Structure formats: C-alpha cells, structure tokens
Amino acid sequence: MLLGLLLVAAAIGIWISAQNFSRLPNQSYGSETMPLALSGVALLLGLFMIVRSVIAGAAIPRATLPAWAETPGALVALLVTLALIVGYIVLAGRIGFVPVAIALVLILMLVMQVRWYLALPLAIVATIVVQQAFARLLLVPLPRSGFLSFLW
Amino acid sequence: MSVMIEALGLVFQPYVLIVIVASAAFGMFVGSIPGLTATMATALLVPITFFMDPVPAIAAIVTATGMAIFAGDIPGALLRMPGTPASAAYVEDAYAMTRKGRSQEALGAALVFSAIGGIFGTIVLMTASPVLAEVALKFSSFEYFWLVVLGLSCAIFVSPGAVSKGLIALLIGLFAATVGIDNPAGQPRYTFGNVELLAGVQFIPAMIGLFAVSEVLRAVVNRDTPRPPIPKNRGGGIFRDQWRNLCRYPVQVLRGSAFGTAIGALPGAGADIAAWISYAISKRFSREKEKFGTGHVEGLVEAGASNNAAVSGAWIPALVFGIPGDSITAIVIGVLYIKGINPGPTVFINDPQLIYAVFVVFLLANIIMLPLGWVAIKAAGTVLSVPSKVLMPIILLFCIVGSFAINNTPFGVVLMLIFGVLGFLMDENDIPIAPAILGLVLGPMLEQNFITSMIKADGSFLAFFERPIAAGLGLFTIAIWCIPLIVWAVTRMRRTA
C-alpha cells in the first residue's frame, strides 16, 4: 500500500515536471514524451498496488522500522559511513587522496569493530596499494597531497 | 588457404604472443575491480598500440577486452557486485552459489561458457559475417524499439520477487536515464542547474552505488550479526564441474551462443540485452524454473555464453561495414584506421591476411582466457577468507576510486553515494536492483527509437507491427506480458468452477 502511494505521488510529480519540457518543432513528441510515458506507467502500477492491497484488506499504511534499527549503534554506524563518503567528496580535493583515504578506511574499520592496531596498518597499506594501482598504473589523476607527492 | 597460413604466421610470433598474455593479465586486473570497465582497459591501451604493428595492436585490445568482461563476473560472484550490466543478469545465482560453497563452480561456469560463447561468435564472424551484417542493417528503429522492450521485459520477469517490484526497479532506472541533455529536443531535464548532470547519469558510478555501496551499508548496519561464514569450497574444481554442466546443458550453451551472436551483431544492442534475454529464455524453458535465483547454474551457463558471444558478434558490423556497435569497437575501428586498415567490405579484398590474423587473435584471446581465468579464480578465492569487517572498508575505497576514475571528477563519487543509498533502500524493501541498471543503460536507446519510430509512423502505433521482424518481436514481447496473465486468469476460473 505504502509503495503504491509513493508511486502515485512520484507519477504526479514527474507529470507536473514534464509540463516544462518542450516538443520537437512541428511534432507531437519531444523531451516530455519519455517522462510522461513513465509517469503514466507509474500511475497505473501505483493504483494497481493500492487496489490490490485494499482488496487483500491491508491496513492503513504506517512506516515500520527494519530489524537492524533496533540494534544499538546501527543507525549511528550507517550515518557515520555516509558522512565518511561525504567527507571524502569535500576534503579529497583540498588535502589530497592519501590522507583522506587512510582516514576513511581507518574510521570505517573502527566502526566495523576492527581493533585499532590492526586497522591502522591495514588502512595505510590498502590506501597506498590503491593509490599506486590507480594513479601510477592506470594514470587516474587522484588528488595529490603536497607532502606525499613523491608517491605519484 | 595461403591467406590463412600467412595470417597464422602474423599471429604466431613471440612478440605477438607476449603482447596477448600481457594484455590478458592487464584486462583481468582492470575487469576484476568494481568500477573499472573493459572500455577503460581499451582506452588505456590505445596510446601503447601506437608503437605496435597492426596485428599485435589489435591483439592487445581484443584480448584485454574479452578478459576484462569475464573478470567482471569475479566480484559479481564473490561479493554480489557485478562488473558489467551484462553480468548483473546472473549475479543473484552466482552469488547464491558462492554462499553455498560453490564459488569455484560458479566462476568456472562463467569462465568456460564465456570462452565457448566467444569462440562460437568468432567462428560465425569468420564464416557468415557478411550475411549477418546484411540482416543486422535491416533493423530500423521499430525493430530496435521492440528489442529493447523485450530486454527490459525479460529483466522484470526473471528478477526474484514480485513482478510489480521488478517494474518499480525498472521505472527507477528509466527515470534516471531521462536526466541530462541527450534527449530528442536537446533540452536539459532534471539537471537542477548542475553542469555535470547535463551529460546524464553515468551508469558505472550508479551501478557501483546500487550494488557495491548498498552492500557495504548493509554490512555496516548488520555488523553485530554478520552473515554466516561461507562454507569451504565444495565440488570437483573449476573445470571438472563444467564438463558435467556442458553434458547436462548442451542446448542451453548452443542457444545462448547463437542468440548472443545474433543480438551482438546488431549495432548498439550488445551484450547487456543478450545476457538478459538469454537468462530469461533459459528460465522459461528450464525444467527447474523454481531453482533460478537460488544458486542454479543453468541460467549462468546460457547467459554467460550469450554475453561473450555478443562481444564477438559486435565485431561483425564493425569489420564488415565499419559501423561500431559499442564504444570498444569504435576505439578499435579508430586504431585500425591509424594502422592503415580501413574496415569495410574492401578490407576482405585489400588486406585479407590481416583480417584473418584478427580472426585468429579472437580465437586465441578466448582460449588463453581459460588458463589465466583459472589463475584469477584461484587468487580471487582468498577474498572470501577475509572477514567482512576488514573487506568492506577496502571495497568502499575501491568503489570511490572507481567512480572517480570514470570521468576523473568527484561528481562520480556523488552519484555513487546517491545510488548507494537508493540501492540500500530498494534492498530493504525487497525491490530487485538489476532491472534498474538495465533501465538506466537501455533508457536512452528506448526513448530514441520510440520517438524516431513515432515520427516516422506519424503517430500510428500500427506501424510498429508493419515490418515482419518488428511484428515478430512485438508479438513475442506482448506474449511475454500476456501469457502469465492468461495463465493466472485460467487458474482462477478453474478454482472458482
């Protein structure tokens, strides 16, 4: 039921946004054709799912938490992981790939409950191996760090 | 015959053979890293091929490509992170086999039947390419439209779980494909003023996000209750199991190879559609339909053969008419021109020994895949012994670098993150991920062919059934959608009666 309602809402949203797209000159088709077709299919599917749920006697939809959310710290671990990726996006260009990647792997290993004395060397070795493989062998221009430029 | 002997002389030289082995190892390395593609392996080899003669240059690219495409199956089978959209077709079965301690059988099947499919496609390329190329060129936008719809339909019906959820996944992929300026009117859609989104959603960062990052997020939230350890590998070994599979599924191997070659020969269609259609056909005609998606090797055998046969098939229009079917054949055509070989009908008259040497290279590339693939499978098996809590942070690092490497911009990492969260939410709600990938890959082709056809037909839907091949494909696609409905209605009527 909830998925059906979300689909109907998405279909309406896509349909409204598609009104801003133009057609090809002197044609009935253009940039809006595909979004309109998708909104039509989404609307039909959403309605079908709602009707099927109603016939099956489904209750009024309510959001339920997954089983893992009841584990202490799981949500925090998820948010920390997402924050680490955002941190990489923001910081790698400024202070370079190597220090940011080491920090990312190290913190994520600690989140995953790896002991720090194992996590630290693993994070350093993994980062250097990845940096050498991508930057040296495959010539991917990973962001350089001033004091670690000798690695490139 | 003398041309063939001359061609063999061009190939069987120490320098060419060393180039083949080295590029095979390079392709294996690139392909087995999530995010790095066969196209990237090809592009990286181009500057090196400037210093080579035509035969070793083509040998390097062809071998690296074939190897990278097979190697994409390795992270798919071991970690549920397919390297290519084509290997996403059978990733659930391959990963389920790994969870049952049959990773070597799964990867062995991917390896052996990829090689068989590739050799089949090469033999067709050598013997019947002009005829097939003529047929392929008769495909207009109407046929391509139905072919894409058929591929997408197969993705929905073979996905585990409810059809409605498969359709939701497909809609997500198709919607993501509408982003950007590459549409009929050339108008920016859903770019929100972002310049990088004008080029659309790159499918590699999206695929890394949907499959790999979502897997990392799942491991993070379940860190206190990790999955049970993968049992020690059972079975008779990488190759011995495959002899049994070959004896058990000869029709599937032949059918997958033939379909793969035929679909691959269509410019722009390629291995992605071929693998999905072959997997769906395998499931449809199997005596053990219920086992698909639970770690059954049959679909893997057929779709694996189809996948690589399509790669060989893509060379048919490329060599016969000089029409590239995908980015890899486009790069190779460029290399051929640089080397003074002009692909097209005249190449068979002007440089027959060179073109036959290229055919021999195709065969060698598929044969050498077997020993090198064996080494790669054995080496990759150690990944399974690394605890998840150590492996996942390192995988995330590979995901980030792989997403960055597509366009060398951090925007790839942003896309990876967005699709990672989306993939996690989809998985939490039992929505299959693979149809979303196929929707994203085939969305532009669907839109382009639909709108071109509608303009040509002046808005008449009947025109989609006026050409014989289009009508056949259209009716087949409609039947795929209607047959389950009819079966359901008949069963219901019988129950009420």
Q: B315-353 b/e with 16+ CB inside 10 Å = b?
A: bbbbbbbbbbbbebbebbbebbeebebebeeebeeebeb
Q: Where are the alpha helices (DSSP H) in chain A?
A: 2-18, 33-55, 74-95, 97-111, 116-131
Mean of pLDDT values over A24-36? 87
Q: A38 vs B225: CB contact, 8 Å cut-off?
A: no
Both tokens of residue A28?
């009935």
The confidence score (pLDDT) of residue B433 equals 85
Residues 52-111 on A with a CB inside 8 Å of B are 66, 68-69, 71, 73-75, 77-78, 81-82, 85-86, 88-89, 92-93, 101, 104-105, 108-109, 111
- In this complex, do A78 and B219 lie within 8 Å of one another by their Cβ atoms? no
Within-domain flag for A31: yes
Same domain, A75 and A145: yes
Q: How far apart are CA A34 and CA B187, in angstroms?
A: 13
| ipTM of the complex, rounded to two decimals | 0.92
Same domain, A75 and A48: no
Residue B384 one-letter amino acid = L
The verdict on A89 and A38 lying in the same domain is no
Asked if B414 and A112 come within 8 Å (Cβ–Cβ), the reply is no
A80 and A122 share a domain? Answer: yes
Residue A60 falls inside a structural domain: no
Distance from CA of B361 to the nearest CA of A (A): 25
Note whether A13 contacts B: Cβ–Cβ < 8 A.
no
The answer, yes or no, to whether residue B208 has pLDDT greater than 80, is: yes
pLDDT score at B231: 65
**How would residue B341 be classed by pLDDT, with cut points 50, 70 and 90?**
confident
Residue B492 has pLDDT above 60, yes or no: yes
Domain assignment present for residue A84? The answer is yes
- Domain identity same for A78 and A105: yes
Q: Is B185 an 8 Å CB contact of chain A?
A: yes
The model's pTM is 0.81
Task: Please report, rounded to a whole number, the percentage of residues in chain B having pLDDT higher than 70.
Answer: 96
- With CB atoms and an 8 Å threshold, state whether A81 touches B189: no
Q: With 80 as the cut, is the pLDDT of residue B347 above it?
A: no
Q: Please give the interface size between A and B, counted as residue pairs whose CB atoms are below 8 Å apart.
A: 166
List, in sequence order, every residue forming a beta bridge with B189; answer none if it has no partner: B180
Residue at A6: amino acid letter: L
A45 belongs to a structural domain:
yes
In this predicted model, what pLDDT tens digit does every residue of B367-426 receive, in sequence order?
Answer: 888 898 888 888 887 776 788 888 889 989 988 998 898 888 899 999 999 999 999 999
Q: What is the pLDDT of residues B428-458, one digit of tens each?
A: 888 888 888 888 888 888 999 999 999 888 8
SS3 B461: helix
CB atoms inside a 10 Å sphere around CB B461: 10
Whether residue A61 lies inside any domain: the answer is no
Give B451's contacts in chain A (Cβ within 8 Å).
24, 29-30, 33-34
Q: Is residue A135 part of a domain?
A: yes
For residue B53, the model assigns a pLDDT of 85
Q: Show residues of chain A in contact with B44, CB under 8 Å.
A: 138-139
Q: How many other CB atoms sit within 10 Å of the CB of residue B480?
A: 17
pLDDT number for residue A106: 95
| CA atoms of B302 and B250, how far apart (whole Å) | 9
Q: What's residue B230's pLDDT? A: 65
Please state the domain extents for chain B. Answer: 2-226+240-496
In chain A, residues with a C-beta closer than 8 Å to the C-beta of B224 are 71, 73-74
Each residue's pLDDT tens digit, A84-128: 999 999 999 889 999 999 999 999 999 998 999 999 999 999 999
Q: Could you give the CA distance from residue B394 to residue B399 in angstroms, rounded to a whole number?
A: 9
Phi, psi of B84, rounded to the nearest 5 degrees? -135, 160
Q: Look at residue A29 and give its three-state secondary structure.
A: coil
- How large is the average pLDDT for residues B296-316? 87
Strand partners, A23: A30
Closest chain B CA to residue A69: B221
Nearest to A31 among B40, B185, B408 (CB): B185
State chain B's mean pLDDT as an integer. Answer: 84
**pLDDT tens readout for residues A59-81:** 655 667 777 777 778 889 999 99
Judge if A36 and A77 occupy the same domain: no
Q: Same domain, yes or no, for A79 and A134?
A: yes
Nearest CA-CA distance, residue B452 and chain A, Å: 9
Amino acid B41 reads A
The answer for residues whose C-beta is within 8 angstroms of residue B161's C-beta and 6 or more apart is B430, B431, B432
Predicted local distance difference test score (pLDDT) of residue B407:
82
Total number of domains constituting chain A: 2
Domain that holds residue A26: 2-55
Interchain pair B393, A105: CB under 8 A: yes
